[in-house]
Amino acid sequence: MPIHPLAVVDPQAEIHPDAIVGPFCHVRGPVRLAAGVELVSHVSILGRTSIGAGTRIFPGAVVGSDPQDLKFKGEDSEVRIGERCRLHECVTVSKGTATGGMLTSIGNDVLVMAYAHVAHDCHVADSVVIANNAQLAGHCSIGRKAIIGGMVGMHHFVTVGELAIISGMAGVRFDVPPYVMAEGNPAEPRNINIIGLRRDGWNEADIGDMREAFRDLYHDRGATPLREAVAEVRDRFEAKSPTSPVLRLCEWIENHLDNAVKGRMAEANRTAVVGGKANTGVTRPVICTGCGKEFQAQVRPDAHLAACTHCGRQQTVQPQA
């Protein structure tokens, strides 16, 4: 029976005839379940959530719940889950917020293991694995075929590059480049993800080049600034082959050096929080008294504090006239 008689399904929901809604499931609001979706039992799917074909969601999972964010004001945001995903027991996926694009998304062929959390405004690309008890804070971005180890704690606004792997129990405070293995607290690149590259179809020559580049960038550069080391590596491998995958790593690192705030590229797009209230209102430039940089703060008439998006220091801001 596609919809078990002990399931509670909202009449607004669009459920494909081939989808299965098991006992004690709760489907509330304009949910969309594509063909072959299976809610095993005791699953809650809420609000403007769409689940792609062939995805299985296991008991205790909650998808589309309100974000655990004090700035959330009830906006009609959404969650999109791709095709052929597996969300295991007690996984939670929160919907997006107004300050993060109104969307939390998970791509195709993603495995999220038991008790993991994907917070508001996160974007998880195709074929990612998120292991048991991993906790992704808001606004994180996970690249294609990345692996997030068990019990990893990830700071909000972190970007993880494609084919990266993060070891279990790591504390991820800063962005993780593509193709690397990262571990520790804070997590740092330790090596190239050789097994992941082979599984992705890389040849041994390209893997060897990536290992050589990694050594030059992270192990053997000594006192050479990272930007200079990247330029040297890029020039060397570009002369060898204009299509070398090392160039993609160099491009990512250069982009990070140019745009990261507090070690996280996505922080550069963060809207300042003013007076602890939602980020709505008039935007005005403010000069930080701590770092001296200018940032845009959205100010309400009754607000008097704004947090610098570069260093986090709070500034006194006069209410907008």
Report DSSP state, residue 254. Answer: H
Q: What is the tens place of the pLDDT at every residue in 16-71?
A: 999 999 999 999 999 999 999 999 999 999 999 999 999 999 999 999 999 999 98
Question: Per residue of the chain (321 residues), what is the pLDDT tens digit?
Answer: 699 999 999 999 999 999 999 999 999 999 999 999 999 999 999 999 999 999 999 999 999 999 999 989 899 999 999 999 999 999 999 999 988 989 999 999 999 999 999 999 999 999 999 999 999 999 999 999 999 999 999 999 999 999 999 999 999 999 999 999 999 999 999 999 999 999 999 999 999 999 999 999 999 988 899 999 999 999 999 999 999 999 999 999 999 998 888 889 998 887 654 444 444 445 667 777 766 667 666 655 655 466 665 555 566 677 665
Pairing of β 187-192 and β 180-184: antiparallel
CATH number corresponding to 8-191: 2.160.10.10
Give the catalytic positions in this structure.
120-121, 138
Q: What is the C-alpha R_g of the chain?
A: 22
Q: What are the residue ranges spanned by the domains of the chain?
A: 8-191, 198-266, 271-316
Closest CA relative to residue 52, chosen from 25, 67, 31: 31
Q: What mean pLDDT value characterizes the chain?
A: 90
Report whether 117 contacts 87 (CB < 8 A). no
Give the pLDDT confidence score for residue 278 in this predicted structure: 40
Report whether 163 contacts 178 (CB < 8 A). yes
Closest CA relative to residue 103, chosen from 131, 71, 75: 75
For the full predicted model, state whether its pTM sits above 0.95.
Answer: no
C-alpha dist (Å) from residue 170 to 194, 195, 217: 19, 19, 22
CA 226/CA 174 separation, integer angstroms: 16
